[in-house]
Amino acid sequence: MTDLSRTFGKQHVDAESRTRLIRSVFSRVAPRYDLMNDLMSMGIHRYWKRVMCRAAEPSAPGDILDLAGGTGDVARALAGQQRRITVCDPSLEMMQTGRARGHTPVNWLAGSAEDLPLEDASMDLVTIAFGIRNVTRIEQALGEIHRVLRPGGRLLCLEFSRPAAWLRPFYNAYSRLVIPRLGALVSGNRDAYHYLIDSIRVFPDQQQLATLFEQAGFEQVSYRNLSFGIACLHSGTRPGAHADA
């Protein structure tokens, strides 16, 4: 099992404590989370998310779940005619921030990836952007995603990953030295951004995550590196014919 309840800095965090830590982190940074993403990535995260949304086009129209959708920026980008979009996130503060920003027709649902409050085979597409590394048990979350997808439905997962070898020393230095200082300056939560960087450091690399997709029962598993592997878009399909096929 890939249990991500492991050491963050010098403190061992068990599953329950880690869940509380993650929710505390996002409740504290919610008001400035999107601004911090812009600053930390120099705006490149918006390009990465556009790549994911373009990859979602073959799945339209249908029922779409944006898991760990936070403030709803991906959901707003996916919105369109005959698309029914649900944002599911454990952080009420993040979703409240998103709901206050616009009138995009989105259903907001509180819930965790490991125990989705949705019926079996109820979604045509699940997207998750920079959220799967924050689940406590990846296998359980992937199993839940597989359960709620209809046969032929797709999972698109955008996440930080392992950069190319030549880029890694510069990326690691930037992550360790610059991002926590930005977090302290803009959001007042340096420790929260230390956690976010540590969560990237211990996360499975591209091939390891693809293997977890396959072990969860997904087919047609593939991945595409973005920005030399700083981020990676994984995709997989629940076996079976799609209802519209």
| Sheet of strand 231-237, all strands in order from the earlier edge strand to the far edge | 106-110, 83-89, 62-67, 123-129, 149-160, 231-237, 219-226
pLDDT band at 31 (very low <50, low <70, confident <90, very high): low
Q: Compute the distance between CA of residue 97 and CA of residue 106 in angstroms, rounded to an integer.
A: 14
Which of 32-36, 67-71, 220-224 is the least confident region? Answer: 32-36
Q: How does DSSP classify residue 134?
A: G
17 pLDDT above the threshold of 70: no
Q: Please give the CATH topology (third level) of the domain spanning 7-237.
A: Rossmann fold (3.40.50)
Listed by start position, the domains of the chain span: 7-237
Tokens 């990465």 found at: 48
Query: What's the whole-number mean pLDDT along residues 100-104?
Result: 72
Query: What's the whole-number mean pLDDT along residues 120-135?
Result: 94
Q: What distance lies between CA 229 and its chain's CA centroid?
A: 16
Query: What's the whole-number mean pLDDT along residues 165-194?
Result: 79
pTM > 0.75: yes or no: yes
